[in-house]
Amino acid sequence: MQNSKRFNSNIKLIAFDADDTLWVNEYHYRNAEQRFAAVMAPWCDYETANSVLLRVEKDNLPLLGYGSKAFIISLIECGVELSKGALTNDQILKLISIGKDTIGREIELYPNVEDVLGKLNRHYPLLLATKGDLKEQESKIERSGLKSYFSHIEILSEKNRESYLTIIKRHGLEPHNFLMVGNSFKSDILPVLEIGANAIYIPSDIIWAHEIVNEIDHPNLVRGSSIEEIPNFFDTTDNY
């Protein structure tokens, strides 16, 4: 995995992931998981509570997708399963409250995000590519204050080869003209590399277990330690 590569004018569109690339997100779900395990303590230990919750969330993905609403349903379903139906009404309401607390929180941007986006969008069109519940992601984007930096916004139900190829085709590009920046190797990086496009991988401190895959090296891939490094990977002199 390279960390000294420079992209040039061959790149015609730069896409950014949102959650845990531009702003903090997974931390709030990790906190919710800890609170869920505390409610489940009469029936199981912490590891069991979160292991079963992950399994329920994965099982629900094809029908419910991503986001806080799906998470709330999974919390209740998992709680009923682990307690064998013994949850009280108050405990069910507590699980709903835990899930709701992941919605509508103040958006905490990573350091210098606006500075990075401001530098890049003077030379490249920027696209925000996020997945999840439409209303929830629209709200996050609006509250982030970053909307004006992007010429296009895509809210996807899933990030895979087909969704990235659709974006590329919609903009009249070839895969080698497209670059994706993100924190999830599974969703932001691997499918982009598989279609012949480019990627910058900025790993986050916390990542959902469902998003963990084996990482690979690739000539179209560079890795950074923070979003602040991203302008260093581009030769913007060709774009004036």
- Residue-wise pLDDT for 191-233, tens only, equals 999 999 999 999 988 777 777 788 888 999 999 999 999 998 9
Q: What is the pLDDT of residue 239?
A: 45
Selection from 211, 129, 204, 131 nearest residue 170 by Cα: 129
Q: What value does the mean pLDDT take over residues 136-158?
A: 95
Helix H segments across 101-133? 113-120
Which H or E element spans position 150? none
For residue 142, what are its two tokens? Answer: 């609006």
Q: How far apart are the first and last CA of the chain?
A: 29
Tell me the pLDDT tens digit for each residue of 106-122. Answer: 899 999 999 999 999 99
Residue 61 has pLDDT above 50, yes or no: yes
> Which pTM value belongs to this model?
0.89
Q: Is the four-CA dihedral 31, 35, 41, 44 of positive or negative sign? A: negative
- Confidence class for position 4, pLDDT limits 50, 70, 90: low
For residue 237, what are its two tokens? Answer: 């002199």
Percent of the chain scoring above 90 in pLDDT:
80
Structural contact between residues 230 and 200, judged by C-beta atoms closer than 8 angstroms: yes
**Cα-only R_g, the chain:** 19
To which CATH superfamily is domain 13-23+107-239 assigned?
HAD superfamily/HAD-like (3.40.50.1000)
Domain ranges for the chain, please list them.
13-23+107-239, 26-100
Structural contact between residues 136 and 25, judged by C-beta atoms closer than 8 angstroms: no
CATH 3.40.50.970 fits 26-100, yes or no: no
